[in-house]
Structure 1
Amino acid sequence: MFKTNAIRVASVGIVVAALMGATTTSAFAADPAQPVNSTAPIFLLDAATGDPIAAGTTLAFNKQVVASPTATNDGTVVYPGVADATDVRTFIAPVGSERTPSAWSAIAPGGFYPGTHDVLLPTMTLDSHTNGNLASVKANGGTYSLGFALTNNNALSIASGAVYYTTITVTPVTGAWTFATPVATGPATPPSGSFDQNLAATTVAAQDGTLNLVSSAKTTNVLNAATLVNNLSTSTGTVGNFTVQDGRVVSHPGWTVTSSVTDFTNGTTTIDKKQLGITPKAGATALPAGVTLAVAQAAGSAVNPALLASSGLTAAIASTDLDADLTFVAPADKPAGTYTAKLTITLASK
């Protein structure tokens, strides 16, 4: 079945006029080089069995072989056609002249797979190339390209650059020949590279910046309306976001933030400052590494002044946003009313 298909496909075509023989070298190379400019690879298969012919095999001049784009072919894998092709020609050509039909040494008509411009298993048998100077190829031997082309313009031009070939080496007189077998390769390695560059940079001594406290936007802080919690008047609020800026990149001694508050008064009535509880927390942004919040001071037992936060000594922290929750609990024996006090937030270097 395989042999019948191969012969049927190869027999379609028009015989063209004989070409002048090309001068070839008589040197014999046992291991032909695989061409790199073929449109697709050519694997040689035994025309009778369809089996791939092993690399390094020496073939007789009349050995029946066909070409395949793959190492195995069950008669369905074709070379894709091109729309402007009108003919198929197989050829033996001097290396480098594969795309110049007038320079081919010997040729034979090929054919398309019926109803298409594709080519299936074209015949590569050397002694079938009877048009041209086949006798010179056999007598003189040398290195040639063996392949086929899709042509037009009465087989004088290559259609869309579609030329497929491999390299063969022919022994003078006997015509015995060897061929190059394509090597299967993986995806091409993407272009890459590297270079070295010597760098030099002149530095100047670093300098300490300043330590600053950016205050909360609240200059007067009215706590939320009082509610009864455990039957005691309780008001809550927040200090509001404030920011510590530390530009002391050389010394980075660290810093502390403390709070202090005066007693609350309403006319002649006083409520002790210990009744204001304060709970430190992060401000508008997350607390940076290296900053520690102090423990909360509970309303009724708050200590003044009280530590709110501190930074370590390992590095200057450019910006730290802080805040604190406030809770004011009035004793049961104090009359209702509006009580005022002053809260002071203090930043100090360690």
Structure 2
Amino acid sequence: MIRISKVKAALAGALAVSLLAGGAASAAHADTPTTSAPPSLESMYLWNNDETLLTKDSTIGWGQQVLGYPKNTDFTNYDTYFQAPSQAAQPYVFLSPRGKELQPLEWVSKAINGFAPGTQTVLTPNLAPENTAGVNLAAAKANGGEFSLGLAFTDQNAAAVYGVTFVHITVKPGGDYTYEPTTYQTTTPPPTGGDSKDIAVSADVQEPAGSLTFTVPTTSVALATAINTATQQSESTGSITGINVIDSRSTTNRKGWDMTQSVADFVSGANTIDKKNLGVTVTKTGGSAAATAGTAQAAGSAVYPSPFATSAVGVSTEPTTELKADLKLVAPAGTPAGTYTSKMTLTLVSK
């Protein structure tokens, strides 16, 4: 049986597929951002889960799920990422006293985050202080104070910090807080002996309609099982056809996409088959020439999560990519008979 659920987050559709084998914005206007020292690598604004912008007049709960974004508009496009310095190995969400952003030993708390697959970018991190951990976190909530909250780009263990992107927050005793959007802007010095003057330029830009979505043809799949006479192992096979990725975004916004797959262990009562025993072979059966299927995962040595399919930047005359997944579960020798269930999750994100 396959269960499917789709979650809209960062242009990601989460598809939950249960596998069965028998036998073995509404955006308000933000306030003018302020600068900070050390400088924030990029602008950062806080947004609600319902895609509304939080301003400096907003009261935010300690455990409220808030998302960081580099812009105060176009949040529903989910197409703007935070960029890490080239030497960074890991992003962390952190809470620190102001002025201590680059000193991890002085942080109040932290939580490991993740880069988008194959990049050094982060999309809409969850910055709720309650989701971080640290010995001084409870005191910060209870006593309040002035802190910095954001992303730190570090080595693998958060011992060295190569750059930070953050906002200033003011915490009231008990945990409620307000924030100030923070930005870092550089200016070009005038030539020696010369002068320079700034001219503010503004323009209203209209964005055409478009979207990045995907569909699946079914909510469940039962794999057919037989004993391999050569190996005397139970093998269950099946296919999911008609997985469609539809990229109808404009030329400017069509930046390509990545679809990844993850699989849970197969369970039957107290018995378990490791997810590595499920092989998945993806085939592109039609559509955009820019899209390609991911490398096949072999039963017995499969790795999850792993790429399912990807598309390069560019506009194709065919916006829909059609995909097929062939599944093969090989039960290890000695696996007790039974009906084993699992869940496959497909996640789609824009590059």
Larger radius of gyration: 1
Output the TM-score relative to the length of structure 1. Answer: 0.43
Structure having the higher strand fraction is 2
With CA pairs under 8 Å and 6+ residues apart, which has the higher RCO, 1 or 2? 2
